[in-house]
Structure 1
């Protein structure tokens, strides 16, 4: 389901018919992330990761992680990915980021807890490995198998010290489930693909969240 948008009126009707709205967390609302666009509506950080663990050992510029392995809390599902130190290129946040094409296109997944009838805001930073062809990197962000964003990034004119990181924001709504699996994957047939960093998942009250891009049954 790609970029399905529903109006606030339709969302309100759904909530009223369900007769219950379950907030995702009782914690105070965090400061909005740059470019998130929904800071006023978010109710708490569910999970965040800047790919700082494990630490890439000096003097290595990166470490490769094949399918079946892990990158911190993420599981490598297909192919391989590279955990990259800022010795090779600048991270968007902290000192490390992930190239989704290691020896070839790969993917990483992470399951986060969710509540029914709650919308979640996912923010992340996107760039690309400018040292390997092709110039335009492609990939996907999926939630429980549904595509919610594409990872297209043009590295033309970019360098390791001028990555051109973009802030991305997507939304998904859980209807009945108590968890959701996020998967970042590369579709770039190369050993240099889209690069991600600074992933944050926040909860958002369904009647207040302005956009919904994917419903997860």
Structure 2
């Protein structure tokens, strides 16, 4: 979703709302996000303070655990992948027995037997912007070399992403951090979707998904 130009009155209301939220969060100045456990707190990046969103869980794809000795578990569209719901054709929850994760011991290939994706609904505040960040690599075993996908909010693409697997392998995945920003004007929840737009059995690989709020006028540039 592209940056929105809000009337001065709305922008003032947004700043006041976020200031109130920041005051509430300051009671937990050292809050951290624990995998699979919703927590609320703040993290400071330079001069900016971002409130951790308590609604997103399972961003590291550590649950369910891929049973040994299997290298991955496939999920077809409509099945639950921990707190996520699979969509499209299928996805592969992949253990580090096959390739390295960006964090923890599991990651998600957005292509199972064909292009798939995962979705999760998270809580949002009105007139608030959110930063979605994630680690991106690609399944190095299959063509095409360039893996592509989209991050969608309520079905609307807010970021297209791609990763070239050339020169990478199972123990040299080459994860890179990507970010996107979207704004919730009136909604109290949105659905985040990571979807592959690559053909075949090997797609984009994602891990360590995080969501944080930010002031609309102070949100960092996306990458």
Q: Which TM-score tier does this pair reach, normalised by the shorter chain?
A: 0.7 to 0.9
Map Cα deviations across residues 17-72 of structure 1 (whole Å, 9 max, x no partner): 7795255573345335xxxx677231223335200000000000000000110111
Per the alignment, residue 11 of structure 2 pairs with 15
CA distance in 1, matches of 2:85, 2:21: 24
Matched, 1:31 2:43: yes
CA RMSD of aligned residues (A): 2.4
Aligned partner of 1:206 in structure 2 is 216
Q: Residue 43 of structure 1 is aligned with which of 51, 59, 63?
A: 51
Q: Does the CA contact (< 8 Å) of 2:43 and 2:49 recur in 1? A: no
Question: Aligned pair in 2 of structure 1 residues 12, 43: CA closer, same or farther (>3 Å)?
Answer: farther
1:41, 1:208 within 8 Å by CA — same for their partners in 2?
no
Are positions 1:189 and 2:199 aligned together?
A: yes
Q: Secondary structure at 2:180's aligned position in 1?
A: strand
> In structure 2, what is the Cα distance between the partners aligned to 1:19 and 1:87?
47
Q: Distance between the aligned counterparts of 2:90 and 2:47, measured in 1? A: 34
Report the TM-score, using the length of structure 1 for normalisation: 0.85
Q: Which residue of 2 aligns with 1:66?
A: 76
Partner of 1:77: 87
CA contact (8 A) 1:77 1:109 kept: yes
Structure 1 alignment gaps of length 5 or more: none
Q: Runs of 4 or more off by more than 6 Å in structure 1?
A: none
Normalised by the length of structure 2, the TM-score is 0.83
CA pair 161-92 structure 1, distance change in 2 beyond 3 A: same
Counterpart secondary structure, 2:11: helix
Confirm or deny that 1:171 pairs with 2:197: no
Contact 1:119 1:172 in 2 (8 A): yes
The alpha carbon displacement at 1:191 in A equals: 0.4
Give, in whole Å, the separation in 2 of the partners of 1:209 and 1:58. 42
Asked which structure has the greater RCO (Cα within 8 Å, sep 6+), the reply is: 1
**Distance in 1 (alpha carbons) for counterparts of 2:46 and 2:191:** 21
Of 20-29 and 104-113, the range deviating more from structure 2: 20-29
1:133 equivalent to 2:143? Answer yes
1:115 Cα deviation after fit: 0.6
Displacement of 1:12 in angstroms is: 7.6
